[in-house]
Structure 1
Amino acid sequence: MTNDDFKIFSPSIPTDPGIYQYIDAEGKILYVGKAKNLRNRLASYFGEKKYQLAKTKVLIRHSHHIEFMIVGTEHDALLLENTLIKKHQPRYNVMLKDEKSPLIYICIKLERFPRVFLTRKTFKDGSVYFGPYLQKFRVEQIAELIRKLFQLRTCQLNLSVENIAKNKFKPCLEYHIKNCAAPCVALESEESYNRKIEQIKNILKGNFAAVKNHLKEEMARAAEEMKFEQAHALKEKLALFEDYQGKSTVVNPNIHDVDVFAIADDEKEAFVNYLKVVNGAIIHTYTLTLTKNLDEDREMMLAFAIQSMRERFNSITKELIVPFHVVLPENDLIITVPKIGDKKKLLELSEKNVQYHLLQKRKQAMNAT
């Protein structure tokens, strides 16, 4: 498509909000975009050539025609744009860069007396998955804490009511070294086991106060019932948990549940850092790399990254802390752009992380040349 082609086509373009698609000669979608005003947005691609980015020129050169769809509002345009990009994965849209580091999840298996284990694969089998975690040492640290706090089974036995009632199993070595409470021979009830699973979920969600209170209540109950050995074991577990909690990065216990995002970019790539904060503690951090393909602005790239990471990490947090306002498909989100206070400090921490990531990438690129 040439500038002359666009001049002929331009008067027929509406000034309404909508989405537009660049299509090649074979009918393939090359790029999907959204606009408050379709005519003005598309005209920006066909200005003076000296102001056009090289990638924009390539897109226009490969485009046979442009299609557009009018929608009611800018928000509707955002929703439709998001859907079409996911469906068609156009060549010239912002793309997530493949990360070579494998991601790890913690799985709570859907079964009686659930096993809890690390995995690199997820299945839609009703099991509960937490993560993904990028840092292997971090997830192994959490798994080790769970193992020490709660006696869980690791076997793959079918612990059905019938099998246990028929005495099909015998306690294994894990029971004798006190790593498992032997639910296979009814030495632990399903109710007791499930209470432990709930506390594990609390740890993985960052609800540390609930776990701490649970351990204190169990310790007090054991002491009251004069089960002093059990009370002492619970006291040691409480100390272990408090040590782990103390090593978590606590920012402010009054900040309960927020997602924090910061962005840094250069000519070719953008990097977005994500901090997950629950009950004042940073429980998760991740930096995403985006490859620039056209003249994407920072607002567009940050919005794209936020949607991608919230979906990837199954976040349902309602408050987002960001460096500038972004428009997102979800209507019920609270977008906070802090100027002072602890939320501003959180944003600055995320910005520090993403700037460090950008500098490291630049150093790697320089060393490679």
Structure 2
Amino acid sequence: MTLQDKLKNLPETPGIYLMKDTHGAIIYVGKAKNLKRRVRSYFQKNQQHTKKVQRMIFNIADLEIRPVDTELDALLLECRLIQEIHPHYNRIMNYYQNYCYVDFTKTGPILTDIPTKTSLGPFRQYKKLPQILALLTENYLLPNVNNVTKKMILQQLPTVEQTPLSERLKNCQQFFAGKKTNLFNLLNARIAYSAKQQNFEHAQLIKEQLELCQHFYHYLLQRNEFCQKKQLTLKLPLGDDREKIYFIAYGVIVDTQIKKSSPAVTFPDKKFSPVILQKADVDPLDILRSYYARYH
């Protein structure tokens, strides 16, 4: 069957599509709520296509589709295939090997690819983590902070060094664990100090640092809360009188059922335990967590 024949016979169902080049290599994996509408959009004249998409379309010689029950199934399958195949034109979810952990030494937090018993993670924000670690080192005046920064911090937070180093290190660990920390109090105190000195440019800089840490911390809180839930159910309609039910335990889909719509749902009578999160698990977990929050 030619590519044109396949485009004419696409189903209007959720699924994933695999774009292939002349050698049969998969160069892109995508998901769709409606395969027919989504896949055909690539081959229609569209001023919105980026140069990258235009290059990809030029190299498409064949395609394969895999229909699934729901958009969530498509999202999860897309993620798994991107991680397995590493298609050239996929960027998101294609670099999970770069996700890293935060470990803790006597002088402060460090990034590591190989976790130890004390490591926290893995975290997908590997490009932002060095900046976050630097902010923690500065605000808690950890041993690795340089003298110039230390003098500036002591002007803004004159009492921070009076706190024992062990307590400051604990606050760093609490931050990455998504637990109670005083980091945000320190940053707000620095913002207030700079504003009082009418150094508004510096106050704005610290405010941006605060927002970066808050965004990361809020993500951790949501992820931790989701992973601690022993029994969650998510129902998604299938377009008729049926629905697909996802049974979720500790952030993982442990079972699914397709049945007629009914308010009564019985969770599988099994014991489920928390799992140790690996790098490849982060993206599927985030997909499931976000989807549950949006549609539950």
Q: With the length of structure 1 as denominator, give the TM-score of the two structures.
A: 0.40
Q: With the length of structure 2 as denominator, give the TM-score of the two structures.
A: 0.48
Rg (Cα) greater in structure: 1
